[in-house]
Amino acid sequence: MTGPFARLVLWLGAALGALAYALGIRRAVALDNLARAFPGRDPAQRRALARGSYRSLGRALAETVLARRLPDAELAALIRFDRFDRYEEARAAGKGVIVAVAHFGNWELLARACARRGVPLTAITRRLRGRLNRWLLAARREGGLRELPDKEATRDALLLLRRGETLAVVVDQNMLRRRGIFVDFFGTPACTTPAAAVLALRSGAPVIAAFPVREADGRHRVLVEGPFAAPAGLRTADAVRALTQQITSAVERAVRDHPEQWFWVHRRWKTRP
């Protein structure tokens, strides 16, 4: 993504994100979230982070457009994995692998890069509507990502893990009270999906997390964390909560280190205890 055309598309993507911020599209949500997460920063600093996150979202969209035409060798040069051996060790156990992912960096490129490395990846995703979302779904399928609906997916997910495959679970979205559990996120209880923890405890599959960080030169470095495990001897409900908290804490660490690369426009703390 270094030629004149690519640079133009990336610039336009970032400019589109900046325009969305200037027009106030979900700006109040982003600023409210940043105030919850970083109460010690002054409003000007939080506004700067919000503008940066909008530009990052626009750039991610542009990168996704360009990646559809990118040869395997260029994609491999664009995205590198830190500690990919953690994934390989987890997969060697033969029980499948659960990868916790977040709306962080360019998560769309992450799925494409995994597929190009020969990782049979399936994601549990929410149903998306609208023309742009239909385009994103087509880009995901083209890139090799398979999807399971987020409702009533447990049986299919367990079968997939028993075949030794890899399952991605999005862990940073707000959940309805009946479908989530509350764990700490930036010091505030956040209703969080327990799906990764439940599936891990039922299948024995190890859980890791992956966060793609966009670096200053435009390339991406995928941070791999884990494996995570609940302390031994806990009752099932307590084990699910403990494991979900570990995963959520990993998301928080990534966001604290690179706050401009998270999806602040989502109402993460919408459901309250």
Domain assignment of residue 272, yes or no: no
Domain assignment of residue 196, yes or no: yes
3-state secondary structure the chain: CCCHHHHHHHHHHHHHHHHHHHCCCCHHHHHHHHHHHCCCCCHHHHHHHHHHHHHHHHHHHHHHHHHCCCCHHHHHHHEEEECHHHHHHHHHCCCCEEEEECCECCHHHHHHHHHHCCCCEEEEECCCCCHHHHHHHHHHHHCCCEEEECCCCHHHHHHHHHCCCEEEEECCCCCCHHHCEEEEECCEEEEECCHHHHHHHHHCCCEEEEEEEECCCCCEEEEEEEEECCCCCCCHHHHHHHHHHHHHHHHHHHHHHCHHHECCCCCCCCCCC
- Determine the pLDDT at residue 6: 87
Domain assignment of residue 160, yes or no: yes
Domain assignment of residue 268, yes or no: no
* Domain coverage including residue 254: 4-261
Per-residue pLDDT of the chain (273 residues; tens, 9 = 90+): 677 888 999 999 999 999 999 999 999 999 999 999 999 999 999 999 999 999 999 999 999 888 877 887 888 889 999 989 999 999 999 999 999 999 999 988 888 888 778 887 898 877 666 666 666 666 666 666 788 877 778 999 999 999 999 999 999 999 999 999 999 999 999 999 999 999 999 999 999 999 999 999 999 999 999 999 999 999 999 999 999 999 999 999 999 999 999 999 999 999 999
Domain assignment of residue 33, yes or no: yes
Domain assignment of residue 67, yes or no: yes
Domain count, the chain: 1
Domain assignment of residue 266, yes or no: no
Domain assignment of residue 236, yes or no: yes
- Determine the pLDDT at residue 112: 82
